[in-house]
């Protein structure tokens, strides 16, 4: 085979492979969009918006159902020392919220419930969330109560290691749960959700 033919063949193969290449989670998101119009996983048996009261980072009681009623609500369970999933989710949501503007921001609530209250002090939680978006709400509560909320949403309770070390990791569920503003849809967003997916879905869930 001549060099030019070989070069052409390699180039054609590279182009073909390059055009086809798509990470598996992108293909999943595309399939979900084709089925439901949303890139997140729409829960067919949607749990109702949970009814619980926890404490926010200012020390005030936060009645989740009452405070978020009528808003598109994104609920996430994580911890501020989390090296990957938590900051990536929060950063992505904050970026997209800014993209969608003030009108959208008035229609959304982002609630972060810590699963590591031993280290996530109110000040730390407020500062950490504030670095993403000052409007994000951080909540604390007894471990039993937080576990029960997660179980009610089909999420595994967090696993905090029994250790004296200060730099332990907490095992916790990675999805963000979205409740549409009209409560008709509950959607799970796994880790791997891209900003373009949030940008696509959030206006729909907010009813815009």
Residues within the interface to other proteins (CB under 8 A): 3-4, 7, 11, 14-15, 17-23, 25-26, 83-84, 87-88, 91-92, 95, 99, 191-192, 194-196, 199
Give the other-Cβ count within 10 Å of 174's Cβ: 20
Residue whose C-alpha is closest to residue 153's, from 113, 101, 117, 196 = 113
CB 115 within 8 A of CB 172: yes
d(CA 135, CA 122): 15
* Least Å from the CB of residue 73 to other proteins: 23
* Least Å from the CB of residue 148 to other proteins: 30
CB-wise, 14 or 151, nearer to other proteins?
Answer: 14
CB-wise, 59 or 83, nearer to other proteins?
Answer: 83
* Least Å from the CB of residue 154 to other proteins: 23
* Least Å from the CB of residue 21 to other proteins: 4
CB-wise, 43 or 88, nearer to other proteins?
Answer: 88
Which tokens is 177 given?
């749960």
Residue whose C-alpha is closest to residue 201's, from 184, 183, 189 = 189
């Amino acid at each position: 085979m001549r060099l030019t033919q070989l070069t052409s063949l390699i180039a054609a193969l590279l182009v073909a492979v390059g055009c086809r290449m798509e990470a598996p989670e992108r293909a999943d998101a595309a399939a979900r969009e084709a089925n439901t119009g949303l890139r997140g996983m729409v829960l067919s048996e949607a749990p109702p918006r949970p009814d619980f009261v926890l404490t926010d980072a200012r020390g005030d009681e936060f009645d989740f159902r009452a405070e978020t009623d009528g808003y598109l609500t994104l609920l996430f369970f994580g911890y501020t020392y989390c090296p990957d999933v938590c900051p990536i989710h929060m950063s992505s949501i904050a970026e997209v919220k800014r993209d969608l503007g003030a009108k959208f921001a008035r229609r959304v609530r982002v609630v972060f419930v810590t699963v590591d209250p031993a280290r996530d002090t109110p000040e730390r939680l407020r500062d950490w969330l504030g670095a993403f978006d000052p409007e994000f709400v951080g909540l604390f509560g007894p471990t039993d109560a937080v576990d029960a909320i997660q179980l009610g949403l089909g999420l595994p309770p967090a696993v905090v290691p029994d250790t004296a070390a200060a730099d332990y990791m907490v095992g916790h569920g990675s999805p963000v749960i979205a409740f549409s503003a009209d409560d008709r849809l509950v959607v799970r967003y796994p880790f791997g959700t891209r900003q373009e997916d949030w940008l696509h879905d959030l206006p729909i869930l907010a009813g815009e």
